[in-house]
Amino acid sequence: MEREARWVGTLDVIWLLFLAGLAVLSPIFEIHKQLLLLAFGVFQLLERRLIAWQPGHGPTLSVLVKIMLATFLLDHTGAIGINSSYYPVYYLPIVTAALYFSPLVTLLWTAAASLAYCSYLIPALLDYEMTSSGASELGIRILFFFLAAILINRFASENRQQMERYRQLSETLSEANRQLQRAEAEARRKERLAALGQLSAGLAHEIRNPLGVIKGSADMLRQKTAESQPLLGELAGYISSEVDRASALVARFLDFARPSRLELRDEQIPEIIDRALEAARSQYPDAAITVERHYAHNIPPVRADHQLCERLFVNLILNSYEAINGRGGMLSLSVAAEKSDDRPGVLVSVDDNGPGIPPELEGHIFDPFFTSKKEGVGLGLSIAAKIVDDHRGWIRLDTKPAEGAHFRLFLPLNPEA
């Protein structure tokens, strides 16, 4: 890249030296010829920038300009143009065409350069007669034009094909590298989930027993003191309600830690998403959120656990509702048949236009107990990821700050396969 960015490269210097040699060998009084050689040199230096600036029309303009300069040069060589010693200058536009165009177009440009060269026959035949040896010489020169064009075009085409193969190989390696990174991230996430799941299960069992004792004691205290000591009864009621909330949290811990027992049946994912959307709306009845559904036709049924999948989509939709509630946001739900790693399945996209997730937090959003919200314990997305894992699928986040969150998840048609 640095070499291409320089104004003058090594080959450009060699090119200028050749033109300088031609200029030195020219008589001093033939200033027009030297100016044309200078024009050739300047244009050759600017050619790459012209093609980079106009990749579509740049090569065509380059070949045309070189044919014109070559024709003018032969007209100022002090001899009859058709017999000029500078006729090989037509190789320059021919080589340029061979480098940038297909074989057929290269032949057409070579024919155009040959016609420009043969145009000098018109004034020559007014004063001279075409001999058989002259016709043979002219034919040999033109045939060499075409021979050089085809030979250089062949090497240029092989080089372009090789570069295309390298590009495709580079893209394949890049995609393999991205898949490897995703696999490593998934493996690390599952290791963290397994360790935290065991810890959660142990803590939940240890906490559940004392919570039961506290709730039973609070209920008895409220019953005994409801009439004689209303204040104590009210405080006992607070204790009981908070114990219920803590018990619900412990139950969520156990749901996260407990191995899933899938009850697989053929399910239509759009129908499950619609029910999950209604469940999420019931928690935000006044939310000014526009929901768009994009369901493809002929979506195949997926063998899935109905309750777990509904909970999966409820968690994802609630996550979006919480991010865009009060912002007049938009939620987009898309479902389409897709393949992943040669496995047929269904690809679901859950997109919102909320604030998005900062890049430094993207690697932790599926970790249990990780949350950036003031309320919540950070189990919604981790439970969603666990459900997807249990169905042998994958879930990913594609987001940019201030552009919303975009979740992609894949569920195979048959997780048992």
| This prediction's pTM | 0.51
CA distance 191 to 193: 5
> Of 207, 234, 257, which one is at a domain's C-terminal end?
257
- Same domain? For 236 and 311 the reply is no
| 3-state SS class at 204 | helix
For residue 169, being part of any structural domain is answered with: no
- In the block, residue with structure tokens 């981790």: 382
How much of the chain is in helix, strand and coil states, percent to nearest 5?
A: 65, 10, 25
204 and 277 fall within a common domain: no
CA angle 274, 278, 283 (to 5 degrees): 150
Q: Confirm whether 378 is domain-assigned.
A: yes
Number of domains in the chain: 3
The span from the CA of 320 to the CA of 351, in Å, is: 8
Give domain status of residue 284, yes or no. Answer: yes
- Other Cβ atoms within 10 Å of 151 Cβ, number: 11
Task: Give the DSSP H or E segment for 300.
Answer: none
Measured CA distances, 217 to 153, 232, 250, 315 (Å) = 92, 13, 19, 34
Residue 32 domain-assigned (yes or no)? yes
Of 42-56, 169-183, 188-202, the range with the lowest mean pLDDT is: 188-202
Task: Collect all residues with Cβ–Cβ distance below 8 Å to 300 and sequence separation of at least 6.
Answer: 337, 344, 346, 413
**How confident is residue 214, by pLDDT bands cut at 50, 70 and 90?**
confident
Q: Which of 257, 278, 303 is the last residue of a domain?
A: 257
Domain that holds residue 114: 2-130
Q: Any residues with CB less than 8 A from the CB of 103 and at least 6 apart, and which? A: 150, 153, 154, 157
Summarised one tens digit per residue, pLDDT across range 218-227 is 778 777 776 7
As given in the structure block, the two tokens for residue 336 are 């389409």
pLDDT tens for each residue of 323-344: 886 566 888 999 999 998 889 9
